Structure 1
Amino acid sequence: MSLRSPLSRRALVLAAAVALTAPAAVAQAAENPYERGPAPTTSSIEASRGPFATSQTTVSSLSASGFGGGTIYYPTSTAEGTFGAVAISPGYTAAQSSISWLGPRLASQGFVVFTIDTNSRYDQPSSRGDQLLAALDYLTTRSSVRSRVDPDRLGVMGHSMGGGGALEATKDRPALQASIPLTAWNTTKTWSSVTTPTLIIGAENDSVASVTTHSERFYTGLPSTLDKAYLELEGASHYAPNTSNTTIAKYSISWLKRFIDDDTRYEQFLCPAPRGAAISEYRDTCPHS
């Protein structure tokens, strides 16, 4: 079995964890070769930029296949090796500009990030899910930064119908390592076949995709045995993910690090359940497997 498969990588983490007598540097390297960047702190994951300098490149809709083009944000240095990657879809009638703030913010923490435009601004969640997967395929096989991406360490995110698309993508491609639907909208509420660790982020005052009919039901509709969490933003609207938001960034970074990179240094920010003035409710299945 390849060391990059989800099961073997997690087994590697657990096996190395018992080697407490080994020198610190050797133990860290053996524990998880996918760690990127220095040990995290609350201030480092709340910062508007992480430790990696970033660049970006535009993907024309003419060269894209199965999605509407977009922008790739990536760490400029390859000294630490390849990076995990995440594709992000905007919501109904929106363009990638509505979620572009996530690009450099996540990339600077050690990810390749692809914010996409959809084929039509009116595409429904199922189509957006297919387009997220098409974007990841493009990123790993055809993009100018494909050599920087580990094709076995991928995730999806999305806002509104794009968040519904993220759920669709995880249903269709179980090999994905992480999913983060943001104030998601989808007519399907039960996701019993999903095996991808999923962080649902809802907004308390969402009048478009209310948490009672969408985000909360998505969370409960995921398998009880799944690594999953539900974070509800205090006093926030449906459009909270469209502007820079420290709470969204902080826990998205932690989730992506924990499950795309198997970086258990970020577990401290997820378990025990986080609390704070910006969070009206948090549910989880801690401890994570």
Structure 2
Amino acid sequence: MAGLSASVAAAIAFSTLAAPGATAADNPYERGPAPTNSSIEALRGPYAVSRTSVSSLAVTGFGGGTIYYPTTTSDGTFGAVVITPGFTAYESSISWLGERLASQGFVVFTIDTITTADQPAQRGDEMLAAADYLTQRSSARSRVDATRVALMGHSMGGGGTLEAAKDRPSVKAIIPMTPWNLDKTWPEVRTPTLIVGAEADAVAPVASHSIPFYTSLPSSTEKAYLELDNASHFAPNTSNTTIAKYSISWLKRWVDNDTRYSQFLCPGPSTGLFSDVSDYRNTCAF
């Protein structure tokens, strides 16, 4: 009986020790250490980053850009994020997000559009063309999990993320930043969507763009609306810790399926006098 008891005890001890590893193995996409407020607010995350330029002459369907990627190959592949600028703007206007997001464990492609006047539907097509190039033909393709692609965009680029998600439901997440689009309703979008609005936006006022976009998304779609306090339409064009923090959390949650980041999204940031967020809404169904 003593030998049997020892055997049972050993089995129990083994199962207890094995449990954390078994849990981690349930999510093969988890990358990086456990997050903290400090880690996702930092200018750089845990990964060293390299970059490569993509000439517009070497691609079709979009205007070239810059690929940022974690230098290490020991963690396997990473989810991808394609980021697009707004009307009359160039890649440089959203390039600050490239290294910042890549250092958190993503392959990030900041792109130019074919012309700076391209409308949201065109920008949506360009984002999908860039995603296909990144995952199938780019020099970084071996570092990317082609099944896990997200899209971000500013202004008309933000409106373009909605167009692209409507056209390609397999996109894992979108983040429209101060988005502009003549189409105000998006019942077709099933992709987890974080909309970043700006309270003082005079170009795409939240009352006629970001908020209607958010409310028109189906209740079955995971969604959040983050409004930057007293910010202008151009808030996404310079380094912004609030945009970065919640974008990282959204991408980690829906591209990497990493529930360690849910704590930052639900219930989410406080609003009020001493907050840089004037409004926050979320389905919190995760």
| Structure-1-length-normalised TM-score | 0.91
1:203 aligns with 2:198: yes
1:273 aligns with 2:268: yes
Q: How does 1:7-18 map to 2 (within 5 A)?
A: none
Compared CA separation, residues 173 and 205, structure 1 to 2 (3 A): same
Distance 2:269 2:254 in 1: 17
- What amino acid does structure 2 have at the position aligned with 1:272? P
Once the two structures are TM-superposed, the CA of residue 31 in structure 1 deviates from its matched residue by: 2.3
- What amino acid does structure 1 have at the position aligned with 2:282? D
1:261 aligns with 2:256: yes
- What amino acid does structure 2 have at the position aligned with 1:165? G
Compared CA separation, residues 24 and 101, structure 1 to 2 (3 A): farther
Distance 2:285 2:221 in 1: 11
Q: Deviations over 1:185-230 (max 9, x none)?
A: 0000111111100000000000000000000010011101110000
Q: Deviations over 1:240-272 (max 9, x none)?
A: 000000000000000000000000000000011
Compared CA separation, residues 92 and 272, structure 1 to 2 (3 A): same
Match of residue 285 from structure 2: 287
1:80 pairs with one of 75, 82, 85: 75
Match of residue 32 from structure 1: 27
Match of residue 89 from structure 2: 94
| Structure-2-length-normalised TM-score | 0.92
1:163 pairs with one of 158, 165, 168: 158
RMSD of equivalent CA atoms: 1.1
Q: Deviations over 1:145-176 (max 9, x none)?
A: 00000000000000000000011110000000
SS at match of 1:62: helix
Distance 1:223 1:43 in 2: 33
1:249 aligns with 2:244: yes
1:144 aligns with 2:139: yes
Q: Which runs of 5+ in 2 are unaligned?
A: 1-14
Once the two structures are TM-superposed, the CA of residue 23 in structure 1 deviates from its matched residue by: 3.0
SS at match of 1:250: helix
Once the two structures are TM-superposed, the CA of residue 25 in structure 1 deviates from its matched residue by: 4.0
Distance 2:17 2:40 in 1: 28
Distance 1:50 1:242 in 2: 20
SS at match of 1:58: strand
Once the two structures are TM-superposed, the CA of residue 80 in structure 1 deviates from its matched residue by: 0.9
1:64 pairs with one of 59, 62, 66: 59
Once the two structures are TM-superposed, the CA of residue 78 in structure 1 deviates from its matched residue by: 1.4
SS at match of 1:23: helix
Q: Deviations over 1:83-116 (max 9, x none)?
A: 0001010000000000000000000000000000
- What amino acid does structure 2 have at the position aligned with 1:85? A
